[in-house]
Chain A
Amino acid sequence: MDQILQILNGNARMDTEKMAVMLGISAEEVQAKIDAYEKEGVIRGYKPLLDYDKIDTQLVEAIIEVRVSPQRDFGFEEIARTISEYNEVSSVYLMSGGYDLHIRVVGKTFKEVALFVAQRLAVLDGVLSTATHFVLSRYKDWGVIMGEQGIDERRIISI
């Protein structure tokens, strides 16, 4: 992966001046590359990495395993696109193994999520079955360990 993407992956707010110094190229060059990545859709956006357990808002997340029957000519594409349209759905992956689509749904309550699955997802043409797993706690998300932040245990000075 390009070093610019690596740096942004670690900290999407890193400013271009600093990146330029760190990479030994000009700030304009860095900006041009980022612009190109955005234009090509390589970079799809920037979001904060939230520790939801520390936010006061009620938020329930579930992972749903969906088995579907692939459609002639379209395979899984059409049903996956359809499911992606729902705002409640935050991610949709096509899987190998015991089921077909791995879906992440976010709602305010368990009931809301359960109803979404029952009333919107399970009834779609081609959906054979669903299995809903609620997320209880997040220990690591997007490569970052959640919960208590580690403290620097090193001595202030060592030689």
Chain B
Amino acid sequence: MNIENLISDRAASLKPSGIRRFFDIASEMDNVISLGVGEPDFKTPYAVRRAAMDTLQRGKTAYSANAGLMQLRKSISAYMDRSFSLEYDPQSEVIVTVGGSEGIDLCVRAFINPGDEVLIPEPSFVAYAPMVTLACGVPVPLETLAEDEFRLTPERLEAAITPKTKLLVLPYPNNPTGAVMRREHLEAIADVLKKHDIVVLSDEIYAELTYNGRHISIAEIDGMKERTVIVNGFSKSFAMTGWRLGFLCGPAAAMRQMLKIHQYALMCAPTTAQYAAIEALDNCEENIAQMRDEYNLRRRFIVDAFNRLGLDTFEPEGAFYVFPCIKSTGLSSEEFCEQLLYSKRVAVVPGNAFGQSGEGFVRVSYSYSVNHLTEAVRRIGEFLAERK
């Protein structure tokens, strides 16, 4: 028997993540200075780690309710209210998930029938389209452009809507571009959506990392809460990537369905992480603010540095990435990244890994110390100078 012949067509059709090969090369090299990570360089605040240890010490290791510990759901509900003035009932409108990723998966699986179309603005996080494919849906990429500061425009959205359109993924603040949608941009999108029966999957995992004014959720726009499912989590805002903890907020009728899938697939999110998350939400707002301030300093530094190097870089207002345009070098994204890696041992991620519209760009993470960033910028400067 050849086990490969038995693999499902859908699993087999998934392409390995675009940066897999590049990652393999980079991770075998010595002395690589990376700007490639998608996670905070801060450790989880100690109070949060301590809270987890305390519950382990007390032997609190059983399953929680499927939707998550009620205390955590209440804390999430309170957080959504104080941060975004959005009211969600902890009993019926909040689910604690295994990372934001599971939340995305649940939402897609709960809404998609075979052939339903899911609109996905690109460049964006690499997992949306494969999840849609696995749910027998059809991912429809919506190109976003540097001249629009990588925002989704109502025209682009309107043009892509068909009778089959079921779901719009709204990935802002955006990985990899750092773009955000301000209130006026969201209102324009909402005006289009309200004419159709389309659900919004708003991925707000970087909501806390917004630099010019607070994050606005599309659910805050009039008439949108009833058609929006929000994905959020603890990975980026609280520097808790390895804990794998996220959450979903949305209309009860949809949450009931997602909860069934979650219950059968995962049972519940890890309890230790859930206890830690209560501490994070209830007592660590100060830590978030400190981390955000620090990212903001680095953000201004790195945007300035790349523009000085002659790589056009628009000023991102969210997340911890910048997305410099490398078209002036005449190289493709992958060529640029490979040559930079080989000649200067600096790792950045090719923009086309996040969708075809990312071609001509690279993703640079500033989730590093200023000294680290300075050295990386120096090496990139050398690389560019040697090419002239």
Contact = CB atoms under 8 A, between A and B. Distances in A.
Interface of A: 3, 6-7, 11, 14, 18, 21-24, 152, 154-159
A14 B126 CA distance: 37
A28 to B, nearest CB: 16
B290 to A, nearest CB: 10
Interface stretch (B16-24, B199-207, B218-226): B16-24
B187 interface: no
Interface of B: 17, 19, 22-23, 26-27, 32, 34, 36-39, 41, 125-126, 175-176, 293, 297-298, 300-301, 304-305, 347, 349, 353-354, 370-371, 374
A153 to B, nearest CB: 9
B126 A157 contact: no
Contacts of A6: 293
Given A158-B37, A159-B17, A11 B300 contact: no
B37 A156 contact: yes
A61 to B, nearest CB: 26
Contact of B300 (A14, A24, A154, A157): A24
24 contacts: A11-B371, A18-B301, A21-B304, A21-B305, A23-B297, A24-B300, A155-B23, A155-B37, A156-B23, A156-B26, A156-B27, A156-B34, A156-B37, A157-B22, A157-B26, A157-B27, A157-B34, A157-B36, A157-B347, A158-B37, A158-B39, A159-B38, A159-B353, A159-B354
Nearest to B368: A152
A80 B234 CA distance: 49
A159 B349 contact: yes
Residue from B32, B39, B125, B370 having most chain A Cβ neighbours under 10 A: B370
Contacts of A155: 23, 27, 37
A18 B17 contact: no
Nearest to A13: B371
A3 B293 CA distance: 9
Contacts of B39: 154, 158
B132 to A, nearest CB: 17
B36 A156 contact: yes
Contacts of A3: 293, 297
Contact of B175 (A14, A152, A156, A159): A159
A22 B297 contact: yes
Given A3-B297, A22-B301, 19 more contacts: A3-B293, A6-B293, A7-B297, A14-B370, A18-B374, A21-B300, A21-B301, A22-B298, A22-B300, A154-B39, A155-B23, A155-B27, A155-B37, A156-B26, A156-B347, A158-B37, A159-B19, A159-B126, A159-B175
Contacts of B19: 157, 159
A157 B103 CA distance: 23
A1 to B, nearest CB: 11
Contacts of B27: 155-157
A158 B300 contact: no
A154 B41 contact: yes
Nearest to A157: B36
